[in-house]
Structure 1
Amino acid sequence: MAELRLVLAGGGTAGHVNPLLALAAELRRRHPGAELLALGTATGLEAELIPAAGIDLVEVPRVPLPRRPSMDVLRFPSRWRRAVAAAQGAITGGRPADAVVGFGGYVATPAYIAARRAGVPVVVHEQNARPGLANRLGARFASAVGVTFAGTKLPGATVVGLPLRSAISDLVSAREIDTAEARRASAATLGLDADRPVLLVTGGSLGAARVNSAVAGAAVEILGTGAQVVHLAGAGKDEDVRRTVAEVTAAAGVPADDYHVLGYLEQMQHGLACADLVVGRAGAGTVCELAALGIPAIYVPLPIGNGEQRLNAAGVVAAGGGTLVADAELTPDWVRQHVAPLLSERDRLRAMGERAAAVGVRDGAARLADLVEHAIESGRRS
């Protein structure tokens, strides 16, 4: 295949940016001379992460669709034209792109429209079980559509899984070589005992109030199993969790030394390498990373939105690799009754991890890159 020029479109959240970066790394491995450009906004995560990965970022104005009567309705047409023009300049500037690969979000829609006008093949990747508006539009005329989960309703979809970010794909490889050694190394980094069970609690970078209060409120029973806890409370929310843990353990006369509370863990792979069980949300990235690593989880879907988080976790839960609990049902009592006993059953946890791994996809970046290459070859032949 001749040297490639590709435009990657996606931003705003880690759910869009991380798969984009994972695909970019795979394409660079296959095609070292490829020219990669990314479209993104000036304020999303992509503004920092994409240039840090050595990829040029072309800014596209963020143009949300007005949902109620306001001045934004009058401003929308001109803003939309500017966004499409910015995308088209990146796609056709110099030598036209061989393909545009979109991951959803605000910048994907103008990228899809600009690519269609320029006659450039479009490849869509949808990370959630329930697709967003941008990808529903792009899939109508895309040359190829890759989805993370079977059952995602997009025309002509191929299940490729989620392209894993490099830190997680490296951990997958390390665990395949020697799971125990990967665990020991990360346990030493975090100051944990690798021979004792570890519960990892996370609500994402912003935290999750329900998860924080429910798990911290059951700290006595969790610690009573001999488990260690790494609780990632979210930015600015760690003090509240520490206070709750201190109060409940002091009242019971139980030492809290094994309950570790952090706002955020930048090198999340260390926490995952040690975890015997995870309690957290069911974003596509979380579900796919845990399944790829073979880690069982208690999934607590976000109670707002269109319900995609429950759908994201449905497959791994059906396989026996996790448990779903509604946000409103997650209380300290629920944690005492379900999570604490599970931590005492390491054979059961191992079995759940094996079932999760059986449905996990570890080569999503390679599968999506195959799809992109095929779409380019087909476009060149036509």
Structure 2
Amino acid sequence: MLAGGGTGGHIEPMLALADALVRRTDAPGGTPRVTCLGTSRGLETRLVPARGHELRLIPPVPLPRKPTPDLLRVPGRVRRAVAETRALLAELEADVVVGFGGYVALPAYLAARRAGVPVVVHEQNPLPGLANRVGARLAAAVAVTAPGTPLRGAVHTGMPLRPAITGLDRAALRAEARAHFGLDAERPTLLVFGGSQGARSLNTAATGAADALRAAGIQVLHARGPKNTEVAVPAGQPPYVVVDYLERMDLAYAAADLALCRSGAVSVAELSAVGLPGAFVPLPIGNGEQRRNALPVVEAGGGLLVDDADLSPSWIEATLVPVLTDPARLTELTRHAAAAGVPDADEQLADLTLSVVRA
């Protein structure tokens, strides 16, 4: 049983592991049967079935960030979710629970402990969340994306990713990818994206720099987010292509020479895996985890880092235009970005999971 519902940051590595496990023929008892655990609130209701995996749902257990009367309801919600998860573990005769943090993982860890089922924890961020801090205390094995993540006994496996990403040959696919998006075959290309919903600061800065980018001969592929219909750039040359959402991230990565993006754990891992340099703009809320996500790649020479408050059209003109128009600098950034990636993290986590089952 794999528990990782809620956001894409939990779901994508869960699905990458699910795919890796069902490819394995060396598992005890033959090819593993994988069931994903989620809630009706998360993206898993759409993403898990689309990848062909079984999904079972339990009640969500959101934890209020501030003291409110809703805190009084949390113990009852936890008990209900744990009871339903424990019943599922018995029904499925589960041999192992792998959790990725979030609302779904905590009940799964507690149910597994009560049922005597071993637990494996995977933490995507350099600062673990509450669920994985609890789960790590109960786990037979702990895996992390970033070296130095403060979980006792953790093994560095990297971020599990889809084979479509880890096996991507950007150079071989470049011409096809640029034609797919209506881009010129030879121009330096900037990719802009701010997650599935877009990011206002990235949208404003990139479109504000459109004239400077075009004057330097740079074309742009910009995913604005489906609700940001006000983001538009007049037609012209070089192309500045604006789309709501990128269904084919593999083609977007292949088309680009540099990405301007947030630094969520999955985005950083994917860019490193495909060897695409990033100009990372950490989300300016939370506990600073997005900055920590990007730092290893930036410190290795595979990307740039700019605070959200400092991102502007003038920053793009002064910083990104010189990089995108310098082939030697792009080659250096690309080499260091690729060296920071872990392309076989899905197989490493599958190995760890199966070793727990064997034990």
On whether the aligned pair clears a TM of 0.5, the verdict is yes
Q: Does the CA contact (< 8 Å) of 1:225 and 1:343 recur in 2?
A: no
Q: Which runs of 4+ in 1 moved over 6 A?
A: none
Asked whether the 8 Å contact 2:23–2:31 carries over to 1, the reply is no
Equivalent position of 2:57 in the other structure: 59
Does 2:97 align with 1:106? no
In the TM superposition, 1:113-124 aligns within 5 A as 113-124=110-121
Change (3 A) 1:166 1:43: farther
Whether the aligned pair in 1 keeps the contact of 2:123 and 2:143 (CA below 8 Å) is yes
Partner SS for 2:263: coil
Query: Helix, strand or coil for the counterpart of 1:35?
Result: coil
What code does the residue aligned with 1:8 have? L
Equivalent in 220, 226, 232 of residue 211 of structure 2: 220
TM-score (norm 1): 0.90
Structure 1 pair 344/257, CA: closer, same or farther in 2 (3 Å)? closer
8 Å CA contact retained: 1:202, 1:232: yes
Q: Distance in 1 between matches of 2:195 and 2:92?
A: 40
> Amino acid of the residue matched to residue 90 of structure 2?
T
Q: Equivalent residue of 2:45, what SS? A: helix
Residue 156 of structure 1 is aligned with which of 153, 166, 175? 153
Q: What residue is the counterpart of 1:285 in the other structure? A: 266
Deviations 1:49-84 (CA, angstroms, capped at 9, x unpaired): 112222221111111123445442332222211100
2:76 corresponds to which residue? 78
The answer as to 2:7 corresponding to 1:13 is yes
Quote the Cα distance in structure 1 between the aligned partners of 2:304 and 2:171.
25
1:90 and 2:88 aligned: yes
Deviation at 1:167, TM superposition (A): 2.6
What is the CA distance between 1:377 and its match in structure 2?
Answer: 1.6
Q: Which residue of 2 aligns with 1:210?
A: 201
1:252 maps to none
Given candidates 234, 258, 266, the residue that maps to 2:247 is 266
- List per-residue Cα deviations over 1:217-260 (Å, max 9, x = no partner): 111111112111001111121x3221xx34xx9xxxxx356111
Kept after mapping to 1: 8 A contact 2:217/2:238: no
Q: Secondary structure of 2:2's partner? A: strand
Q: How far, CA to CA, are the matches of 2:260 and 2:216 in structure 1?
A: 16
Paired with 1:123 and 1:265, the residues of 2 have a C-alpha distance of 32
The C-alpha deviation readout for 1:97-132, integer Å capped at 9, x for no partner, is: 111000011010000001011111100001111111
Q: Which runs of 5+ in 2 are unaligned?
A: none
Tell whether the 8 Å contact from 1:121 to 1:375 is kept in structure 2 after alignment: yes
Q: CA deviation at 1:363?
A: 0.3
Give me the whole-angstrom Cα distance separating, in 2, the residues matched to 1:358 and 1:86.
43
Residue 173 of structure 2, aligned match among 175, 179, 182: 182
Instruction: Indicate the residue corresponding to 1:316 in structure 2.
Output: 297
Whether the aligned pair in 1 keeps the contact of 2:198 and 2:225 (CA below 8 Å) is yes
Q: Distance in 2 between matches of 1:90 and 1:68?
A: 32
- SS class of match (1:298): strand
Q: Root-mean-square deviation (CA), in Å?
A: 1.5
Whole-Å separation in 2 of the counterparts to 1:15 and 1:25: 16
Task: Report if aligned partners of 2:9, 2:124 keep a CA contact under 8 Å in 1.
Answer: yes
CA distance in 2, matches of 1:278, 1:210: 15
Tell me the amino acid that sits aligned with residue 335 of structure 2. E
What residue in structure 1 maps to residue 31 of structure 2?
33
Q: What pairs up with 1:136-175 in 2 under 5 angstroms?
A: 136-171=133-168, 175=169
SS at match of 2:23: helix
CA–CA distance in 1 between the matches of 2:141 and 2:155?
8
Deviations 1:27-62 (A, max 9, x none): 100046322111101121111111222222111111
Aligned length: 355
> Could you list the runs of 5+ residues in structure 1 that have no partner in the other structure?
1-6, 250-254
Cα offset, 1:149, TM superposition: 0.7
Give the AA of the match of 1:241: V
Relative to 1, partners in 2 of residues 1:94 and 1:212: Cα closer, same or farther, differing over 3 Å?
A: closer
Cα 1:360–1:68, aligned 2, differ >3 Å: closer, same or farther? closer
Q: Find the residue that maps to 2:246 and give its secondary structure.
A: coil
Q: Following TM superposition, by how much is the alpha carbon of 1:318 offset from its aligned partner in structure 2, in angstroms? A: 0.4
* Local SS of the residue matching 1:241: coil
The 3-state SS of whatever aligns with 1:370 is helix
SS in 2 for 1:200: strand
Distance (whole Å) between structure 2 residues aligned to residue 23 and residue 127 of structure 1: 13
Q: Look up the SS of the partner of 1:323 in the other structure.
A: strand
Cα 1:191–1:30, aligned 2, differ >3 Å: closer, same or farther?
Answer: same
CA contact (8 A) 1:59 1:86 kept: no
Between 283-292 and 57-66, report the one with greater CA deviation: 57-66
Question: Structure 1 vs Structure 2: percent identity of aligned residues?
Answer: 53
Cα distance in structure 1, aligned partners of 2:219 and 2:184: 8
Is residue 235 of structure 1 aligned with residue 242 of structure 2? no
2:230 aligned counterpart, secondary structure: helix
Q: TM-score, normalised by structure 2?
A: 0.95
For residues 61 and 330 of structure 2, the distance between their equivalents in structure 1, rounded to whole angstroms, comes to 45
Matched residue type, 2:105? A
